[in-house]
Structure 1
Amino acid sequence: MSNIHVIAHTHWDQEWYFTLQDSNILASWNFADVIRTLEQNPAYTCYHFDGQTAVVEDFLAVNPQYCEQLKQLVADRRLFIGPWYTQTDTYNVHGESIIRNLKYGILSARKLGHAMMVGYLPDTFGHNSQLPTLLRGCNLDNIVFWRGINHDTQVEKSQFIWQAPSGAQVIACAMPFGYGAAKNIRADDAHLHDKIFPIVNHIRQRSGLNDLLLPCGGDQVNIDPICRRYCVSPAHVPLKAIVFRSPLWKRTLTAFDNRHQDMIAGKGN
């Protein structure tokens, strides 16, 4: 039996092939819709804002009328922000820059109600071998990431214990299909069998554990109402070997932590 933890989220670039102003306009619509959806649908248990707070500050600067509603959702652990202030490179920059990014991000998130203490780095193209040391120094005992690793040659399993040269260790979860594995997921059985279950089976083979991460989101996407159905109605899923569980990064990582004796160690950049 595999427990599939569906993570409802958006991945947000403040600017990329668009300007900061473009981002603010899109965020004004999308983030407001997230707030409305969570308030109007209690069964939609939670949503994740990409592990950063800078985009939230940008949204509130343009839309201060949503501040109290957003703070309430964050305090209620239904909207997860932080621990980073903004997306960061963790390979080329100075370690102090990484620490400051976390420090400011955690402080900013806590001012809004709560900081998600998950080292979430979905789109960083390389990682310093001392990153576990830096994370531990900021009271994070885990990292969830996609890029910056060769999933076929550098690790045997997607969940492993990452040890820094200092000896510091964190639970690491590498997402072989990235943060958009279940983007645009649909509730019909054909879609599940043709697309989702093959992905799940590959993740299961790479994991070696019964608790698996299935991110449901993508670049600048709006909240997906379909994700709620998997959080509420796992019986809908026709494949009995799969049960959809709570969509919380931290709860999933706790499940990994409980199985840490089964994980292999990984070292280096």
Structure 2
Amino acid sequence: MTAVPGAPVLLTPARQTGTTVLLAEAAAARGLPTVRLTGPDVLDRLAGCPVHWFGGPLAGARIADRLGLALLEPADDWLARLPEEFTGRRIELTTLAEAWTLRGPAFVKPPADKSLPPAVYADGSRLPRHGERIGPDTPVLVSDPVTFGSEYRLFVLDGEVVAGSRYARFGRLDPGPVSEEAVGFAHRLLAAAGDGLPSAVALDVGPLLDPYDPAERWAVVEANMPWFAHSYTADPARMLDVVLRAAGPVAALRPADRRFVRAGAGPD
């Protein structure tokens, strides 16, 4: 489908994935053309167009100001501020320098980007100390190691789960249908979280495995940016609704979402 000057478009990276293909098909079905970011000339051609983005956060930050994009992102400390009733573990937002002092095993990950590999580290000495995008002040989430029996990605719009998929079992990729239990837990979590999340967000949740407690206990894995999330088996048309809200023109930004707009970043 060819973009019309001044008309809305969905912009994706040059490199296609299964999710970008599915979203492009869903967009075409509603008359929304998809344009691939194959070079800087593409940005010139899109000047004046209402643009929606689906792709990486670094590329998104580079093009946001030029294209008038508002990229919604959960606050770095959202997960750490949740009651343990919903997390099932202790979580702290700190810096990489503080994490270097850990004396025991912990799961460490950046709040949003992939500046360091999310993993259980035996202690702080195992964490990376040098890299293009990391330094002592790099924010990280540090949590107790836990095991999720299965993990589900849910796409949320205005507090309602509109699409979802299982994406893993026992830590291994295993896409499948979403469960009623996952959706039910997500709605309880969203009700408790109030206005702590953007109006469009991707939530990962799942039941914890505890050898000392056979009762099923659900917990949140993390909150993600829908515009940088795999669809797995989720309905791409419904996922597209969430993506369009989460990464679209500044002019269409809702006042309540302004505090969730991703700050700019340097080049890749």
Q: Same fold (TM over 0.5)?
A: no
User: Whose helix fraction is larger, Structure 1's or Structure 2's?
Assistant: 1
Q: Between Structure 1 and Structure 2, which shows a larger proportion of strand residues?
A: 2
Larger radius of gyration: 2
